[in-house]
Amino acid sequence: MVYCFSIGALRYQFNGLRELLAKASPARSGDCLAGVAAETYAERVAARMCLAEVPLARFLEELLIPYEEDEVTRLIIDTHDKQAFSEISL
């Protein structure tokens, strides 16, 4: 999924939830070295604004780490309480 946000005449595009989260994170030297950090402060702000509009359910639909490869992801998915979640996800 592609996420987009505009600031003035500039339109920022983020390819997937993983990239959106990486660009929205505070600047860290390791992220810069890995090439996943926002290139500018404006891009970071756009990513944060865009992330604020992402529904919580999207995090269950677009897993950052495949279910088969990560124990924490499996725990989150397997113990997810749909009824309790529905009350706060409206």
Q: What is the pLDDT tens value at each position of the chain, 90 positions in all? A: 999 999 999 999 999 999 999 999 999 999 899 999 999 999 999 999 999 999 988 999 999 999 999 999 999 999 999 998 888 876
Among 76, 57, 56, 55, which residue's Cα sits nearest to residue 65?
Answer: 76
Q: Give me the residue spans of the domains in the chain.
A: 1-54, 56-90
Element (H, E) at 7: strand 2-7
In CATH, which of 2.60.260.20, 2.30.170.30, 3.10.180.10, 3.40.50.300 is domain 1-54?
2.30.170.30
The tokens of 31 are what?
């992220």
Report pLDDT for 89. 74
Beta carbons of 63 and 78 less than 8 angstroms apart: no
Report pLDDT for 88. 81
Report pLDDT for 87. 85
